[in-house]
Chains A and B, each alone.
Chain A
Amino acid sequence: MAEDKFDAIVVGAGPAGCSCAYVLAKGGKNVLLVERGDSPGGKNVSGGRLYTYALELIEPGMYQRAPLQRKIVREQVMLLDKQTATTIDYFDPRFSENVPQSYSVVRAKLDEWFASEAEAKGATLASGVLVDGVIEENGKIVGIRAGEEEMRSDVVVAADGINSLLGRKAGLFPDLQGHAVGVGVKETIELPDSVISARFAVKDDEGVARVAIGCTDGISGGGFLYTNKGSISLGIVFNPVQAAKQGRSIQEILQDYKTHPAILALIEGGTTIEYGAHLVPEAGYRGIPERLHREGIVVIGDAARFGINTGLIIRGMDLAMVSGLAAARAILQAANTEEVGPLYIDKLDELMLLAEERAFENFHGIFEIPRVFREVPKLANEAMQFLFTVDGKVPTPMVQGLTDVVRRNMSLGQILADGWKVYRSL
């Protein structure tokens, strides 16, 4: 293999790498797709919901071939206090019509399929290969090293995930910082499909995506729940800097969330079959490194720290796919290796990825308000308790009762300050 020279070596067979390899191979390029897992997806964890517009961009109709789980038709937001829960449920059957908006996914299945699609177009997949570094000659990146082996290409595409060793080794950006990431932990809980459909009031191919606040011990972050085929993905993502100060183990806080009475009712009778953890980019547009390329290398997907989290919408895999498409288009169009990097940024712009990131540029401000994660969900639940309690006594007048609930949790100054911060962040 050391003799061969590829047009492109793509490192990492996740959504970004597979998207790039697929489009390059389809465009006639000689592509090597390298994956450190024994099979693609074997090292990956995601929440997991995929917005399928990204697959549509790569190739219309492609999502219909993908091993997707359930079409999300219920979007739910849950506010948790110790025992109580207030859930907002938005049901929209149109989400399952025409161009479906999003599906729950299981990465071991999705990534393996996507890599096989790239192979079918002519890409060479090398699984079970850990890339140790890049080869640099005359100021250019000209290939990769994996153990004793050297593999050469015109362009290296670093799709090696959030910890991107290649981006760092190529000198493009420094390591991640704690405040710019979230730590995600997740249990996969097996439950019969019919039970899932009944508990969540959906048809057998339809599902629920739920976000929860108030389950992180006041730490900036939240819980999630996705219904899959025959399983539920249940987890928490939060800020490790605040978690470290707060002092309780991440794994333990996940156990609290899992055994909250309102969550337990949904997963009761199920069996946890896997426990995973992963970092996610949390700083949005501001977290994207200034340099995503130099001659001979471009960085895509989680490695480029593309991510959008509005609290309600959490996106990573779709952006990864779009960035892989952008890199592939740049490589296909470039007349020489020097042109690839600048063209890649142009393509990211054309595909509106950077504009989308910029639209949410200030959003992170909301997650810096500490009360959002404890006092606000507590207040909501206490208000509900007041409104729904009948005990045969003379009730407190409604306005006074609700004012009392608010005052117990927040001062007027805090409400004004937080309200202003939310307004500024939107």
Chain B
Amino acid sequence: MSIKRLSPEEALALNKFAVDEGKPHIIVDKAICAKCTDRACLVVCPARLYRLKDGQMSFEYAGCLECGTCRVMCSEGGVTSWNYPRASFGVSYRTS
């Protein structure tokens, strides 16, 4: 392989994750997001886990890099709960 542009999905696929199935560590209230005009999360989440689908906010917690940017940048409170994944879940960095 050589150097090429990576999509967010390709970049995340390189990492080691243990997904806590059915137990999201970040809770997003889509009703609040529907009223938000800033939607900084769409741009600033390094994993691009916030997307608009048919005009509705969608958030996928698997692939979260646990940086906290979405919580810090959320202006309307749509990120209603932000925690780290439970012990032994989430990302495990090996070379960073």
Contact = CB atoms under 8 A, between A and B. Distances in A.
Interface in B35-58: 38, 40, 42-48
A255 B6 contact: yes
Interface string B73-96: 100000000011111101111111
A244 B87 contact: no
A121 B93 CA distance: 26
Q: Is the interface of A mostly helix, strand, loop or mixed?
A: mixed
A107 B92 CA distance: 12
Given A43-B93, A250-B44, A128 B88 contact: yes
B65 interface: yes
Interface string A150-194: 000000000000110100000000011110010101111100000
Contacts of A273: 14, 95
B46 A183 contact: yes
A240 B48 contact: no
A188 B8 CA distance: 15
Q: Is the interface of B mostly helix, strand, loop or mixed?
A: loop
B72 A181 contact: yes
B65 A251 contact: no
A36 B86 CA distance: 8
A275 B3 contact: no
Contact of B96 (A129, A188, A279): A188
Given A45-B93, A45-B96, A259-B3, A277 B14 contact: no
A279 B46 CA distance: 11
Interface residues of A, number: 61
A274 interface: yes
A108 B95 contact: yes
B67 A275 contact: no
A44 interface: yes
Interface residues of B, number: 41
Given A250-B44, A251-B11, A129 B87 contact: yes
A67 to B, nearest CB: 13
Contacts of B40: 178, 240-241, 244
B31 interface: no
Contact of A270 (B2, B15, B43, B83): B2
A279 B67 contact: yes
Nearest to B38: A244
B43 A277 contact: no
A175 B70 CA distance: 12
B3 A277 contact: no
A38 interface: yes
Contacts of B4: 259
B65 A276 contact: yes
Given A177-B72, A183-B67, A268-B2, A277 B90 contact: no
Nearest to A190: B95
Contact of A277 (B2, B38, B47): B47
28 contacts: A38-B88, A38-B92, A42-B93, A43-B92, A43-B93, A45-B65, A46-B96, A107-B93, A165-B84, A181-B69, A183-B67, A183-B69, A240-B69, A241-B40, A244-B43, A249-B43, A251-B48, A258-B3, A258-B5, A268-B2, A270-B3, A274-B14, A274-B15, A275-B11, A275-B65, A276-B93, A277-B47, A278-B67
Which 4 A-B pairs give the minimum distances between C-beta atoms? A277-B46, A244-B40, A275-B11, A276-B96
Given A128-B88, A250-B45, A259-B3, 18 more contacts: A38-B92, A108-B94, A130-B86, A183-B67, A240-B73, A247-B43, A249-B48, A250-B46, A251-B48, A264-B3, A268-B2, A270-B3, A272-B11, A275-B14, A275-B15, A276-B65, A277-B46, A277-B65
